[in-house]
Structure 1
Amino acid sequence: MDLKSQKNFFQPRARLLLQLGDKLIKNENIALLELIKNSYDADSRWAKVKLVNIGNKDKGYIEIIDEGEGMDIEIIENVWLEPGSDYKENLFRKRVRTPKYLRLPIGEKGIGRFGVHKLGTKIELISKRKDKNEVVVKIDWNEFAKNKYLKDAKFDVFERTNPEYFKGNRTGTKIIISGLRSEWDKRMVRELYKSVFTLNSPFHKTGKFRVELDTDDPKLLEKMPKWDDVEKFALWHFKCKIEGSEIKEFLYEFTPWASLTGVKSRKITEKDDYINDRSTLVFEEKINGKKKESILNLSKNYGDNDNPKTIGPISFEGYIFDRDKLTLDLSQHQGITLLKDYLDEQGGIRVYRNNIRINEYGEKGNDWLNLDMRRVNIPAKRVSNNIILSVIDLNEEKSSALIEKTNREGFIENEAFNDFCTSILYTLNIIETLRKDDKDTIRRKFNPTEKQEPVINSLGKLRDLVDSKVEPESLKIEITKHLVKIEKDYNHINEVLLTSAGIGLTMGVGIHEVQKVISELNYLVKEESVPENILNLVKHLDELIENYSDLFRQAKNQEEDSVKLINGAIFNIEYRLKAHNVQLIKDYQNKPSKKIECSKRLMLGAIVNIIDNSIYWLERKRKKIDVSNIKFEKKILIDLYNNENYVDILVADNGSGFGLPIHQLTKPFVSDKTSGMGLGLHIVSEVMKVQNGQILFPEIGEYDLEDEFENGAVVVLRLNKKKMI
């Protein structure tokens, strides 16, 4: 017979919520970002994050404040206190938008709040909704560890008829987290800043969402970039007004950085002949099988006589960046990594009507103008979403021909929408043409010449020829895709080239073979031979490059102790340090040692190589300073930084810093030494690559260093931690 159990239901343990937070929320940054998303969903214009005394776990606390809709007791009890609530998911599915800024929720799972315990053991939530009482929730997460079952872990939830924080007509939510789980260091705060920074928009729009990060210790965010710093990277700015069939106003500005010596700035307006000759909007259409250029008129009636509809005036403004590594390294600005993160998140062209954002356009992954595909076709000229920050402004009354979809996700793709896109792309094409001239000027002056990089130069010429001569369009696109991949793989080989004679010879043979195939391709395109032959040769070249690339992708690592590894390297070079009277500061010995994945032999050589480099340049600085009778004490600092997934070994000196641009430091046979071969840092770079690590040259402020080291040479070797099974 069957004996039926009396316990035929789940009885969740109290620690389940703690486990949820631990498993679903990766780190402190993500936990805070989840709370910030809640402020966005609450229709707030901003979220303010305040960090107070966070280096002290017992006395520190974190505040998150917004001015959104707030919550009443009903929402707290039936939504906020229900793990996995589908409240926001239903709003998103039904496309229910917030009343002020017409936002769809970005936090849908209802679990983000349980990551709060990742930040601290105590939480106090204060919230007020319009015409409702102020609600307070106080939770001590320690109670969830003490009690066996979830139903036994009690906490305080109550209302205040006389609000203490959100007084008068104020609404919103304030969260205070104390009993911090971690002592926040400078690096953690700066990583949080970077994450928060990518959420902010440079264009002042009603309905934008702004995040502010404040701390009681200004040094934690010292030298971190603001939007003004990101804007400094923008070499190009444009601002246009399109109306009817004309570009009525046009402003194009090229402002080279001070470091781009010899490159002149320029400003072009609608008064210039070049723009005046191109101000009329035209588009290409096929009539009876023949291509014909027609004039585009955005003021025409897209409706009928009883219900006229037009597109009206369009304002189009934006900033364009150059993400080419060689060019960025010439900028001398701090924050290149943050710039790339920001552009990856915020890049694209967004659309506003009466200052209210039309969702979808400009969202990450939504290439509504096919910018990325256009760039594949003509990479040297076109802009992609991750190098442009732009907004389009429309007048609601005059743009009635552009009709929003019922789900409010963009416009209906009718004739008016197609004309709207055409006008934007027409204007953008003019901007791209002007930009290419300026971009080419920079490349000619600062980037490698044909003699230095014959393969890359030949590939560039070949792409231009393919673009102008090969038809049909589908074949042109396929060939161009292969050429882009060829260039990427070729650059990989160049970067990973080791210095042994055997591999060097192999590479020489490879380059010779590649050059022969490219020469044949250039000849075929010029002679307008059969396009299929061109495609076959390109595919052959693609495979050839990929085979050479595979020669450099092998490495064997094992578990090593990070502190012992550094001690071993110092032992190997200790005599030289003493001989040159260099003071070694061993800050790494104060840090807990971690297990890392690496080759001990290769890493010992890499660390010694970097220290040896510092010894050379410290001696050079001493000789220079001796002339002016100023006392100089040579120092090298070695430190260790632990992260969740990797370990950073930092070597810094108090010398004069690197004399070469960062992008040239790891290039083979490039040296700033009088008789140097230029192989030291190149070998270190290759050693790190074969161990799935990195060599980094951090910007000022990334690590907490004394000023004398900030201005010297700073090198970081990043290695993966040993994975726990």
Structure 2
Amino acid sequence: MSEPIVFKPRARLMSQLGEQLIKDENIAVLELIKNSYDADAKEVSITMENIENPESAVIIIEDNGDGMSLDIVKNCWMEPGTDNKEQKLKEMIENNIRSNLNRLPMGEKGIGRFGVHKLGNKITLITRAEDSKEVCIEIDWTIFSSNKYLSDIPIEVTERDSSYRFLNNSVKGTKIIIEKLKTTWSRGKIRELYRSINSLNSPFKSIDSFKVSFNIDKTDWLKGLLEYDDIKEYALFKVKMTLSGDKIKNYVYDFTPWKSMSKLSERHNPITEIDMVRSIRKENGMGKTRKVLEPIDLNKCKIGDVEIELLSFDLDSNILKMELTDIQGIKTYLNTNGGIFVYRDNIRIYESNKNDWLGLGVSRVNSPGDKISNNLVLGSVNINRDESSDLKEKTNREGFIEDSAYDLFCEAVLFAVQKFERDRAQDKLYLKKYYGVTSKSEPVMAEVTILKEKVEKKIFDESLKKEIFGCLSNIETQYKHITEVYQKSSSAGLSMSVVLHEIDKIISELEHAIIAEDASEHVRFLVNRLGTLTDGYASVVKSKTIKYFDLKKIITQSLFMVDFRLQAHEIIVDKQYMKSNIDSKVKGNESLIASSIINMVDNSIWWLQYAKIQSKKMYFDISRDIPGYLSIIIADNGKGFTIPTDMATRAFISDKPSGMGLGLHLASELMKQHGGELKFPEFNDLQIPEEYKQGAILALAFKEK
């Protein structure tokens, strides 16, 4: 025997849904505001009274939107989970239509109304659509706590004539009165709500047709809250760009130092187009894999173009005091409001400030000087509602569902943010040099000296003066000792970075060798080379092996070490140096020079692949074209350096995604130790083929005696 049955939800299901679907009161208020946006309201007013006492407190949310007729209230508002907005959105997108205020609905799940249940136990809804009567509903949510079935609890709806006017004297709109609050609102919670309401609209693209006002009888609770307009002028680093398909388009970076920073100049860096790529392992058909660059392509999902705008700050107190009096104010504002937020049609997709969706905090822990964290940036990532259907909001309204479309979206945005970080790092270097806390060679020792001078002038008790001087001398001694320990530690750390940097190259070559041939002898040679290199760098800290060696030989050995990688990437090597009759012997550490050449080859391989050069080439020569130097000339036929060459040799400065920024810095330092220089000659200063004119050109220049 079988019979059809139906679900019979209990009334308390409404309470459970209200508590669990809406995480907190802030989100509940924001959901109701978004409902007003969807109703084409021009204004929304949030009023809170007697908020410290839940029994007598009241929250009023009122708008001048389209309002609801009796039919809409009965068949939409009273049906939780209705697909009314979802179907409306689909129809509007398919027919390319918008509301009267050029909007698409933000809500589509039909659960926003649960926000009122999250806030209080009693609500009164008053609404009127155009050419309709006023509709009124009163609901006491406590009756839903009973064990009755949901269908057994009727809600009385009243339709009536009324002359009530909504916001801005509008004849249509909606007013929701919430009483018997379920939460005690503290001062901190009110301030958090105020910030959330302010961040609902993108600060970079405010919606003139949608204004939200916040009113509370505890006006002193909002005292001291800074606004976006109060701090935006203090941003030193700015960028605007659009992500479209697999490219960053119209990238415009600006460094704008304050007038008080007379030693620094503005820097404007516009780039028409930047390829977005990721490094992946790909099978080569022989059961092995190798690293290749693959586009990060937003067109693989329905995400549409992504507009990004970022403002970044320097919170070094030494710098802030050059312009600001309320230093703590800006730090507090950024700690609470900072971050990069997603906006859909300029309305924020709510995520908690503590939710670091791009992982900026983790990245900064590993490299604090170069990376930005949420408290150093104000940013908007804006997507279009009708183009981003694959990005679906979670039911609880806390961001997007974390699926493949979301992962792709995050990867593209993070790639763009990292490009901004690399630009910012260049200007941050000079900012720190001239105005940062380390701009003085020994700031602590300088302060001790000043203190000694004051003691000498102000203290007349000789025994006390002697005692103070003794303490200050102990501070100086201990400070010098600690400084020496840290300097040694940092040197060891840098040496370890060198080892890791070089080992990575050899391991990469090992992979290509294993793939390309079954030549165990060559593989053993590479393994031995890896061990020798590791041991060599460990011994470099203690001593160096200096001897005469032939530049021709060292270039040949270096190219042999990367032969398989060059073949794998189809790079033709022009060995002009083999035709040279120049006596090419120099004195130095040939192992370290070989490592520098390998690093430069590795850089060219990556950038030639990134630039999508069809016929990739590298050029090697030995030349005396640079007066006073015997030089190894290395060039490629790519698109040249993307950052100024004087910045390229700075440690940890790189424009290569995920690059360490060590290769050219180490090469430069190595050449200095050899009494030479790492130079970046102009094309016309050398005798090299025309096809290398636009590419990167470097010279390991050894001083001739």
TM-score, normalised via structure 1 length: 0.44
TM-score by length of 2: 0.45
Q: For the pair shown, which has the larger CA radius of gyration, 1 or 2?
A: 2
